[in-house]
Amino acid sequence: MGIGRRLGLQLGRNEPCWCGSGKKYKSCHLSFDERIDRIRDQGHVVPSHELLKTREQIEGIKESAKRNIAILDYVASRIGPGISTQEIDDWVVMKTKEFGAVAATLGYEDFPKSVCTSINNQVCHGIPDSEDILEEGDIINVDCSTIYNGYVSDSSRMFLIGEVEPEVKQFVEDVHEAVNVGLREIKPWRFLGDMGSAINAFCRSKGYSVVEEIGGHGCGVEFHEEPWVSYVSKPGEEMLMVPGLCFTVEPMVNMGARHIFEDEDNGWTIYTEDGSLSAQWEVQIVVTDEGYELLTW
């Protein structure tokens, strides 16, 4: 490992710290950087400084997240049987505008709408459509990504449409619990794989499977930042978590097999290969000195 690639080397001990605190490097993040360097030297993936959010950035992301949550709260208050997924998009467009925000998905890699709506066997990236009408017994994921004042927030929730079968309701609740199981593993100086493997183990113990090809992501300054986040990873593997790292926890869980395919016509919507139901909840967090702080949900 070339010494020039070490995290703090470009800074002198008495120079101002890279974190923007105004303190000298030696009395601010020097030992933090040395700790990261040691872990990298052991062969682990570690985050660059650019991924670690400053206090100011975290405040900005929180302002964005407040609006993101409020948009989904609005959806929650109106969704039900007979509603089309296009109406959900209309609500998101209206509320996003009212809050002075921008929908991150609209135009993102040519995605055509302001929210993703994924029903039943759709895993993710469902495209709102006036012909897709919610029916009693359906389950749907509504995934909302919001930019406010340049900061990005991202979260999604499941909704049960009218009365759903008890087994399906249990599945949706279990996937919610899977996120909590993952969150408990988020602590600084541990690895993303500790979180991902806990989610996978929990889901498998319930007889479900976790989608491998699509995962979570860093988020906050850009919509999709490093790291890519797997929920089928191994303990002690993947990126080191350190305070300031901001990412989503959003496992996609299938009631049947994990295999998926993409809609060839729209190039977006992902379905379960075996037609089984899929559920997902998404939260965005920032790693703190003690553990993590929940930004959305």
Is 125 an interacting residue with respect to ligand MF3 (CB under 6 A)? yes
Number of residues counted as binding ligand MF3 (CB under 6 A): 13
Shortest distance in whole angstroms from residue 155 CB to Co ion: 8
Nearer CB in complex with ligand MF3: 46/114: 114
Q: How many CA atoms lie within 13 A of 47 on its CB side?
A: 28
Nearer CB in complex with ligand MF3: 238/250: 250
Nearer CB in complex with ligand MF3: 116/147: 116
Contact partners, residue 286, CB within 8 Å, separation at least 6: 53, 58, 61, 220, 244, 245, 246, 292, 293, 295
For residue 118, give the nearest of 109, 105, 108 by alpha carbon: 105
Nearer CB in complex with ligand MF3: 194/250: 250
Residue 181 CA to residue 238 CA, distance in Å, equals 18
Residue 104 CA to residue 222 CA, distance in Å, equals 10
Fill in the amino acid letter for 1. M
Instruction: Indicate which single residue of 31, 97, 108, 135 sits in contact with ligand MF3 (rule: CB under 6 A).
Output: 108
DSSP 8-state symbol, 129: -
Shortest distance in whole angstroms from residue 223 CB to ligand MF3: 7
* The one segment of 7-15, 53-61, 104-112, 159-167 that binds ligand MF3 by CB under 6 A: 104-112
Write the interaction track for ligand MF3 spanning residues 15-54; mark x where CB under 6 A is met and - where it is not.
----------------------------------------
Degrees (nearest 5) of the Cα angle 284, 119, 285?
Answer: 5
Contact partners, residue 281, CB within 8 Å, separation at least 6: 141, 156, 157, 158, 175, 176, 179, 250, 297
Instruction: Indicate which single residue of 87, 89, 138, 154 sits in contact with Co ion (rule: CB under 5 A).
Output: 154
User: Restricting to residues 250-289, which ones interact with ligand MF3 according to CB under 6 A?
Assistant: 250, 282
User: Restricting to residues 130-159, which ones interact with ligand MF3 according to CB under 6 A?
Assistant: 143, 145, 154
Is 64 an interacting residue with respect to Co ion (CB under 5 A)? no
* The one segment of 2-10, 18-26, 148-156, 237-245 that binds Co ion by CB under 5 A: 148-156
Degrees (nearest 5) of the Cα angle 236, 286, 198?
Answer: 35
Which residues are bridge partners to 216 per DSSP?
A: 229
Residue 240's alpha-carbon distances to 30, 47, 111, 243, in angstroms, are 17, 7, 31, 10
Answer with the entry of Co ion, ligand MF3, none that 185 interacts with (C-beta below 5 to 8 A by kind). Answer: none
Contact 88, 134 (CB under 8 A): no
User: Restricting to residues 200-229, which ones interact with ligand MF3 according to CB under 6 A?
Assistant: 217
User: Restricting to residues 230-249, which ones interact with Co ion according to CB under 5 A?
Assistant: 248
Nearer CB in complex with ligand MF3: 68/197: 68
Task: Give me the residues that bind Co ion (CB under 5 A), please.
Answer: 154, 248
Q: Which residues bind ligand MF3 (CB under 6 A)?
A: 105, 108-109, 111, 116, 125, 143, 145, 154, 217, 248, 250, 282
